[in-house]
Amino acid sequence: MATSTDINDLLTQLTFEEKVALVSGADGWQTQEIPRLGIGSLKTTDGPAGVRGKLSVGGSQAVFLPAPAAQAATWSRDDVRAIGHVLSREMETKAAQVLLAPTSFSEDPFLSGSLAIEYVAGVQEKGNAVATAKHFVANEQEHARFTINAIVDEKALREIYLRPFAMMIKGPVPPGCLMTSYNAVNGLHTDMNPHLINDILRDEWKYDGLVMSDWGGTNSTAESLLAGCDLEMPGPSDRRGQKLLNAIATDKTGALTPALNRSCHRILSLLQRTNLLGLSPSAATATRTTPETSHTSPTDIQTVRNVVANSTVLLKNTNNTLPLLPHKLHNKKVAFIGPNAQIGAAGGGGSASMNPQYQSQPMEAFKQRAPELGIHVDVEFSIGAYNHKWLPLVTPDQWTTLKLDFFDAPDCQGTLIETQYRTDSLMDLFDTAPLALQGTTKPYSFRMTSTLAPHTTGTHSFGLTSIGHSRLFVDGSLLIDNSNWTVHGESFYSFGSAEARQSLHMTANQPCEIILEASSKPPPSPSSSSEPEVQNPFSTQPSTRLGFLPHPPTNPLSAALTLAQKSDFVILILGLTSEWESEGFDRTTLSLPGSQNELVTTLLSGLPDPANLIIVNQSGSPVSMPWADDVGTILQAWFGGQEAGNALADVLLGVRGPGGKLPMSWPRRYDDLGFRRDEEVWPGVNGVVRYKEGSEVGYRWFLRRRVEPLWWFGFGLGVEMRDGVGVRLGLKVKNVGGFEGMEVVQVYCWREGRVEGRELVVFEKTGADRA
């Protein structure tokens, strides 16, 4: 029988069982194909920092893009559209059609919406892929994110939280998909909230694209379908499948069948748009196994590098220390100090994690770039402080390939199902367990074996976190027993255990046998308070994370000061990493982790000339800087993806100017934030969080409350606030400095006599961007 590309024709041919199969995922990332009708499988992929492909950990390589906060810091429509173009080309290499992005860019809804419009247009320009606006809506915290009920008044909902979505939906190129958030809004989970989806999104905004749930975020069977949530993700189905067939069979209202047809129509429309209808049966089946590749042109790489530089915000340059031009730097000695100097934090965790094509590091990039500019410079490194939350993952040069044997019963008993080989000590099995075990609730286990040879002699530390039971053996002896744990940590979206640590004396280059055994943990009893509030696809696999920290230096702070004192310039690179900014938990402090603040104050007091200290912070959100008033030079570098180090070297050496402005207000201290003493505002009480601030979010809050932040929204050296009256404003921007650069013109408006209520209404970037 010839297959059809006509949607109405296909709807008449689909059985109820096939329609129900269409409205829920087949596996972790793809929809269900229907081979007999030539209907292929839609492939989704995270996400906001690049096209990851079909595996969340250890998958195919892809270009690692700067984080959304960095993209927002460019304040550049052109830059963000260019990122969309790179993503579109990457989608082809991953044989994917649905990109699970963009997410929010900024505290300001107008800036977020304006940049999101360009992002979507860039992704969808070639027609081979569609973007997914997420997370709809009021997804403002990670604590209890699956169950929290956000109470938001309609004014704030419209002015702040819905506005970026409205701008995208009503824009010239609406996103092909939209993803609902985990949380409830005013008493109803978003996937089953008819006011949000049917009343506002469908009826008021006239959106007819596909609406999907977040992963594990479908909270009902009939209600979500009736509200207009078309697709439950991931698969195998939890809320639909046979449950939906049963609901249809007993539906006395007759409303479910039309709702099912509407959702199938929207799914088929997207399949038609992405050329996945009218396939042969064999081609339809093959859409779930198309191989992935990784290729990015030099032009795309340069685009990413430029965007990272354009996002870098110069917060202070009191002594005009930057840029480090040849006449300042030639034949000088430069100390790179700090926990991020040799890692160049690339991105956050969760859906932002990637397997990059490569990773440029700040110090190494600087050492490579300086000679290209004719600069001879002596560069040395000292860590000074640590900022890891968990012990670092085992590096590939420390151990042999990992062998994983999977068994279909707990405690490495039963039948051997499959053997895998890996190089990474993070074993997230959500989408990498054997196919026969993915999505199952039946307990299973695995045994990992390897040999580890440390590079130094001393007391080395091991750390183990897991979902489920786990035990670590070294040379046949049990070192860590993480079975029957009860205390949750923040690993694995906060479904994992706290890290269990033990130390062991080891000899340099002497191999030790490592065996790690892990088993599924049975679902909690209803009365258990030590388990997460809900079960989720991310909480059922016996995943593990093995950390290893070699014997650390005796006094890293003293060593860093000694190096700094004999150097002409000190580049101190501080900040956060993907361990601190990820999914499943909120940061509970603005403080830099570890002894990073102590490192700053030690250098400030111990350097003969503190003016030559350059501080670079890498993070996706604000951190407190109690030493900011005493430091002459501060750069905010964000998470820059795989070009983080190269772009930072460009900025430090004056190849490119720091072109960014802050896309969020930067508080001076945690106590300056509105929710600091009100648990109802965060993290919530009895499962309810109340948005008492209404529309006073970000800089609006600081203005209304007359609280002075450390740096205002939109700040970056060179910014000049220009206030206009009326509806038409023209101005010229002149560069009066000594270096090439770009500027962001920001226009705010307010009611007469209400300057504290001003809000951003227009912005434009000069220079390489549109005039």
Q: Could you give the residue numbers annotated as active site?
A: 214
- The residue whose two tokens read 């949000």 is 196
Residue type, 580: W
Here the tokens at position 598 are: 């102590």
Backbone φ and ψ for 653, nearest 5 degrees, come out as -90, 0
The whole-angstrom separation of Cα 23 and Cα 256 is 13
Here the tokens at position 472 are: 């670590």
Q: Is residue 289 classed exposed, middle or buried when 0-12, 13-18 and 19+ CB atoms within 10 A define those classes?
A: exposed
- The residue whose two tokens read 């008493």 is 187
Q: Left, alpha or beta for 649 (phi > 0: left; psi -120 to 50: alpha)?
A: alpha
Residue type, 728: R
Instruction: Provide the β-strand partners of residue 685.
Output: 688
Q: Left, alpha or beta for 406 (phi > 0: left; psi -120 to 50: alpha)?
A: beta
The whole-angstrom separation of Cα 442 and Cα 521 is 10
Rounding to the nearest 10 degrees, give the CA dihedral for residues 41, 45, 51, 56.
-120
The whole-angstrom separation of Cα 79 and Cα 115 is 9
Neighbours of 522 (CB within 10 A): 11
Rounding to the nearest 10 degrees, give the CA dihedral for residues 596, 598, 603, 606.
-160
The whole-angstrom separation of Cα 481 and Cα 478 is 7
Q: Strand 377-382 relative to strand 402-407: parallel, antiparallel, unpaired?
A: unpaired
Here the tokens at position 203 are: 């009826």
- The residue whose two tokens read 């964000």 is 638
Here the tokens at position 671 are: 């106590």
Q: Which residue in 136, 139, 286 sits closest to 583, CA to CA?
A: 139
- The residue whose two tokens read 């005493």 is 630
Give the side-chain half-sphere CA count within 13 A for 691.
25
The whole-angstrom separation of Cα 742 and Cα 766 is 5
H-run or E-run covering 151: strand 149-151
SS3 685: strand
DSSP 355-412: -BS----HHHHHHHHHHHTT--EEEEEE--S---SSPPBPPGGGBPPEEEEEESSGGG
Neighbours of 624 (CB within 10 A): 19
The whole-angstrom separation of Cα 389 and Cα 185 is 32
What's the order of all strands across the beta sheet hosting 210-212?
Answer: 44-45, 98-99, 130-136, 177-180, 210-212
Does the N-terminal peptide bond of residue 137 adopt cis geometry, omega within 30 degrees of 0?
yes
Q: Which residue in 417, 416, 447 sits closest to 434, CA to CA?
A: 417
Q: Strand 633-636 relative to strand 613-618: parallel, antiparallel, unpaired?
A: parallel
Q: Which residue in 766, 715, 764 sits closest to 118, CA to CA?
A: 764
Backbone φ and ψ for 465, nearest 5 degrees, come out as -125, 155
Q: Left, alpha or beta for 206 (phi > 0: left; psi -120 to 50: alpha)?
A: left
Instruction: Provide the β-strand partners of residue 241.
Output: none
Distance of CA 476 to the CA centre of its chain: 39
SS3 584: coil
* Sheet strands (E) in 631-691: 633-636, 688-690
